[in-house]
Structure 1
């Protein structure tokens, strides 16, 4: 009996010339190229996922790192500082010239996930060769010859691809 890990989920046989997709799934190269099945939307799973996403959004609240007495909800996180700010404490980022250049994003709990662990800089680029977020310093080093784009551009294109898949 073949271990499931060695079996292609399209042809249900042992892998022939195995390849891995960017999301980590394995298939035979020919199955992925030639026998790709028609994809159908799993409406039940979609509803369950939407329910849990909403549940997570309702629970996750990010608070200002600078409020002392009563912590206010954060509206933005700064990848350059790195800190989260309520409307009041964010004000200098809109007024002070050097702070205006900082990279602001919608408030997030896991701010460390948006900062390069190697260079402590914002992960504001996407390496298409390695399918990962990178910082500017990464593109001057090991990703120097790779195809990198602003993360916002990759995100917009991914959303467009996902929308086209569901149509």
Structure 2
């Protein structure tokens, strides 16, 4: 759509959670906008933590922000809906529904697609469609994707709600960076990935005397 020299694209009005055109758009304190139901449902999953993050930039908020309708954005979306771009068909040929033993996409509503990747930063699993923003948006550039996993919570420190990226050799367990300044201060620690690689090398090439 081009009006007054401004070119608008359908993706500009998409919610990054449901990937559809915004419905009842709300804007959270960091400036990103979502469908009211989408962000409410997304935050409902973290209600027990008391910390609520933006799905795009990962800025955290506590207490839970009170959401108000973004009237200006809602008006723009309504005008956009009257254009031909809004009615463009959405491809469904690659839809792959999750079976009993599959990891389900955390973003899909209704019958869920099979997740192909899990994000260790978002602590969520995504199907091919909902994973796309992680590849397209600079906001997700530093997020770490792994094969779809059901045990994402096991990679998070229960005390600090941070990723377990450090291995404490003194206590022989994985910890987060905040643990280093607390009960593990002064301990023998390495990056968890480095310790895993070291264990793999030791397993395959054990040391021996000649």
Match of 1:127 in 2: 168
Match of 1:72 in 2: 113
Deviation at 1:89?
A: 1.0
Work out the CA distance in 2 between the residues paired with 1:123 and 1:104: 15
Aligned pair 1:148/2:189, yes or no? yes
Deviation at 1:105?
A: 2.2
Q: Deviations over 1:5-58 (max 9, x none)?
A: xxxxxxxxxxxxxxxxxxxxxxxxxxxxxxxxxxxxxxxxxxxxxxxxxxxxxx
Deviation at 1:95?
A: 2.3
Count of residues paired in the alignment: 107
Distance 1:60 1:155, change over 3 A: farther
Match of 2:152 in 1: 111
Gaps of 5+ in 1: 1-58
> Residues 64 and 84 of structure 1 are in contact (CA less than 8 Å); yes or no, is this contact kept in structure 2?
yes
Pairs within 5 Å for 1:88-103: 88-103=129-144
Match of 2:179 in 1: 138
Work out the CA distance in 2 between the residues paired with 1:87 and 1:145: 43
Match of 1:37 in 2: none
Deviation at 1:60?
A: 4.4
Deviation at 1:78?
A: 1.5
Work out the CA distance in 2 between the residues paired with 1:89 and 1:125: 29
Distance 1:164 1:146, change over 3 A: same
Deviation at 1:146?
A: 1.6
Q: Deviations over 1:100-132 (max 9, x none)?
A: 222322211111111110011111111111111
